[in-house]
Amino acid sequence: MSPRPRTAVIGLGAMGLPMATRLAAHLPVTAFDVAEARLDRLATAGGTPAATPAEAARDADVVLLAVRDQQQVDAALFGAGGAAETLRPGAAVVVTSTVGPDAARATAARLTDLGVLTVDAPVSGGPVRAGDGDLLIVVGADAKALDLARPVLDLLASTLTVVGENPGDGQSLKAINQLLAGVHIAAAAEAVALARALGLDPGTVVESLRHGAAGSFMFGDRGPRMVETYASDVAPEVKSRLDIFVKDMGIVTGIAKDAHVPVPLASAAQQLYLLGEAAGLAAHDDSSVVTVLSPKAPGSQDRNGAQR
């Protein structure tokens, strides 16, 4: 395989666009997204826009999926104008989305029928690290599929962990990652809400504790965004939508149920994200879940100008 495989990226959202932008600096990249503005941004970075997933995948050696959930995976691959219409036998599809082990295995089975390889490679780290090539990527794939995708993955990952040889193996480890991340965000929200109720300055609390034993990546990353939620009438920039954790914690608790492992903290965190979704925060940054525990002052506005 050439060290510069022709690469298609399908999905240019919060993670897909920085990944595609980084890849376009090193590889020939063609991409599809439903939003024309995102395609324009990729074109500025040196990528080639495509009108459909099928067009993006036509000449690709590696197709990287950076979509939200399994429904979008199915649409991108097997829907009208999907990549499966043009994927050539021997190409590899890299699934970076968090969809769960069963969904990854089902997708791989459909691709195998087309003679296409699957690399189960969910990512973690956020948009900034995606653009810097500093992601954690956990992989389930056989040696042939991994070798094909390796030049792409190496540009995106600072830590690449091969969990096993089968699609679904990467998803299993990513679910454990999301269990920890989801619980940490929920714990950060409780800490900020309690600090506020006690009359402490949340910004001082976050800045102090993030450097001590109570700190975590999620507390240090989401804590300042929770503080920003209270400091401004405009909601923080959406870097990770709240409904992503509704989905991911659902995957976590479903896997745990099947494995007969109790996950009381993950289940409690899942309920908090569901409450946030019910409060109309699904499309907001996940840090906004703090307002479920400690609402903003009456009369403040969200980013759309609606009263809260």
Q: Catalytic positions, please?
A: 174
C-alpha 149/C-alpha 137 separation (Å) is 12
Q: Please say whether the beta carbons of 44 and 23 come within 8 A.
A: no
> Nearest 5 degrees, angle CA 220-CA 70-CA 267?
50
Q: Is 164 exposed, middle or buried (0-12, 13-18, 19+ CB in 10 A)?
A: middle
C-alpha 44/C-alpha 41 separation (Å) is 5
49: closest CA among 26, 79, 24, 77? 24
Residues 6 or more apart in contact with residue 1 via CB below 8 angstroms = 61, 147, 148, 151
